[in-house]
Each structure stands twice: as structure tokens, then as C-alpha cells.
Amino acid sequence: MSEPAAGLPFDPIERAGDIWTRRYGPADAMRVATSVMRVQQILLARYDAVLKPYKITFSRYEALVLLDFSRAGALPLKVIGERLQVHPTSVTNIIDRLVAAGLVDRRRNPDDGRGVLAVLTDAGREVVREATRDLMAIDFGLSALAAADRELLFDRLRSVRSAAGDFIAD
């Protein structure tokens, strides 16, 4: 879903929250959940627009960045799935498409004869550099939030992720 051409004259989530409260009870959790989902749609639409010239999606961009962050520019597919927190089938699809685009190579893992490494190519490094520059130029679509608000929002959402078992909190 992309951003609407013109904004509504009211906040539909706030209105739904008012109706929800009258019919079902407290709407705070529903309003936050619905807002998070809508913001995800808005951000993905913005990222798609920025990444379109590179012919990659945001999930492929994340995989490229993860490979770029690694010391050798290479990681086992299993590790990519764990770090991106996606199903192995999704990792295979992401890497297949990056290989087809010439941004990643597949190699046998020398430390695990059955395993496969995804290896960032020079073209992949260039795409990471340029796409990151472009995403940073739009503040990752979050310019409506001050830096302190971003930090607070990250902390609050981190609590939800931790409670869901995404990682072991310190």
C-alpha cells in the first residue's frame, strides 16, 4: 500500500480508537498497533522509491548491509536468517535475487562442507554505499521525528521486541 495522494481531513486511527473504546473498551494498544502497521507501510513505500533505481527491495538492502558489516563480506545463509530474523526460505529467495543481480556470490563454506556462504561482490558494495547515502538523505523517512523522539521510540519498541524473545536483554 502506498501513501495516499491527499490526506484525510481526520485521523482514521484516532477515529477508530474512539469507536473501539465505546464498543470494546480501552483502545490504546489497538491504536499503537495500527499506527505501527501504518507507519511500516509508509516507510516501505518511501524505501521502495529510494531503492528502485538499484533494483532492490528493502529486505535485499538489509541483507547487503549485513554482508557489508561482516569482516569478510561473507556470511553463512543460516546466520543471515538469524540476524535478519527471517525464515530460511526467505533468506534463500533474497540471496537468489541478489546473486541474479550480480550483487552477491554463493560459495561453499570452507568451515562447513554442507553450508553456503553469501559473499558481497564489488557491485554489491557499491549499491550498499549509494543506497545507504540515499536512504540517509531522506533520514530513513523519519524526518518528522526529532533525534530524542527517535531514541525514545526505539527504546519502547525494543522492549516489545525483547518481550517477544527477539533477543536476550542485558
**Residue 47 belongs to a domain with what CATH number?**
1.10.10.10
Cβ-in-10-Å burial (0-12, 13-18, 19+) of 118 comes to buried
**Which pLDDT score, from 0 to 100, does residue 85 have?**
94
* Residue 4 pLDDT level (bands cut at 50, 70, 90): low
Count: domains in the chain: 1
Instruction: Flag whether 25 is in a domain.
Output: yes
Cell numbers of 28, please? 490504546
Instruction: Flag whether 3 is in a domain.
Output: no
Angle, alpha carbons 73-75-81 (nearest 5°): 130
Instruction: Flag whether 7 is in a domain.
Output: no
At 148-167, the pLDDT tens digits run 999 999 999 999 999 999 99
At 122-132, the pLDDT tens digits run 999 999 999 99
Instruction: Flag whether 77 is in a domain.
Output: yes
Q: Cα separation of 112 and 61, whole Å?
A: 26
Instruction: Flag whether 5 is in a domain.
Output: no
Instruction: Flag whether 29 is in a domain.
Output: yes
Distance from CA of residue 35 to its chain's centroid?
Answer: 17
Q: Do residues 124 and 132 make contact, with C-beta atoms less than 8 angstroms apart?
A: no
* Residue 114 pLDDT level (bands cut at 50, 70, 90): confident
Assess whether pLDDT exceeds 90 at residue 45: yes
Q: Cα separation of 54 and 102, whole Å?
A: 12
Instruction: Flag whether 2 is in a domain.
Output: no
Quick check: helix, strand or coil at residue 107? Answer: strand
Instruction: Flag whether 1 is in a domain.
Output: no
Q: Cα separation of 66 and 120, whole Å?
A: 10
3-class SS shares of the chain: helix, strand, coil, % to 5: 65, 10, 25
At 51-109, the pLDDT tens digits run 999 999 999 999 999 999 999 999 999 999 999 999 999 999 999 999 999 999 999 98
End-to-end CA distance of the chain: 37
**Domain range enclosing 84:** 12-157
